[in-house]
Amino acid sequence: MANYVITIGREFGSGGRAIAKMVAEHFNIKCYDKEIISLASEESGLHENFIAHCDEKAVSSLSFAGGNNFYFPGGNMHNVQIKAYFSQFDAIKKVAKEGPCVIVGRVADHVLKNEENKITIFISADRQDRVLRVMEYENISERKAEKLVDKNDKNRAKYYNFFSNKKWGEAKTYDLCVNSSKLGIDGTADFIIEYVKSRLQNMD
């Protein structure tokens, strides 16, 4: 079996993390989510908390000066922020080369755009289902959950769109988009597993 990577983007509260773990467990491969932050810290020397603070956050203080050159208004802090972002990208490339795996979020589909055996997936869910899931998981009120959903979706979209020059959550950006509200968490995981099986047959 060829080496392959499954990348899973997800709306906040869609159950994407749980689904990713179930998919990884089925294929007996590693699943990387927050683990990417730890690996990035080890490789870059930056504190793990600092990288976590930058994790999938909107990039509003940066601008391109052209090509791959960056302009850093404010000086060194922005250099460190950029290092935090790209340390995660380096970690994603590293784990992708080590063997089959599932990688959650962090523009992984774009970071690995040159990988031949890549399967890109995006998981959404109905808004009310997401709010209810966040209320339960975070033990917060409905109003706070709604704000958290909106804030995280906004940050993820800006982060993804900035680094990829594509549109977060748009169907044509991914190989497969699925709404977890329609099949439930277990059903969505099963659906993705069957899709991946079909794709893997073409990679042999």
**β-strand partners of 178:** 123
Instruction: Quote the pLDDT of residue 195.
Output: 98
Domain boundaries, the chain: 5-201
For 2-141, where are the alpha helices, taking DSSP H only?
A: 16-27, 35-44, 48-54, 76-98, 108-111, 127-138
pLDDT mean across residues, the chain: 88
CA distance 85 to 48: 12
Contact 94, 40 (CB under 8 A): no
Architecture in CATH for domain 5-201:
3-Layer(aba) Sandwich (3.40)
CA distance 66 to 91: 25
Instruction: Quote the pLDDT of residue 70.
Output: 38
Task: Say if residue 130's pLDDT is above 90.
Answer: yes
Per-residue model confidence as pLDDT tens digits over 167-204: 999 999 999 999 999 999 999 999 999 999 999 998 86
**Helix H or strand E segment including 10:** strand 5-10
| Strands of 118-182, DSSP E | 118-124, 176-179
Walk across the sheet containing 101-104 and list its strands: 30-32, 101-104, 5-10, 118-124, 176-179
Q: At what angle do helices 16-27 and 180-201 cross, to 10 degrees?
A: 30
> 199 to each of 16, 194, 204, how far by Cα in Å?
20, 9, 9
CA distance 115 to 52: 26
Percent of the chain's residues with pLDDT above 90 = 70
Instruction: Quote the pLDDT of residue 172.
Output: 96
Instruction: Quote the pLDDT of residue 60.
Output: 53
| 169-174: Cβ within 8 A, 24+ apart | 169/9, 169/11, 169/122, 169/124, 171/122, 173/109, 173/120, 173/122, 174/9, 174/109, 174/120, 174/121, 174/122
Q: Which residue carries 């999938």 as its tokens?
A: 56
- With residues binned 3-state (H G I as helix, E B as strand, rest as coil), the percentages for the chain, rounded to 5, are 55, 15, 30
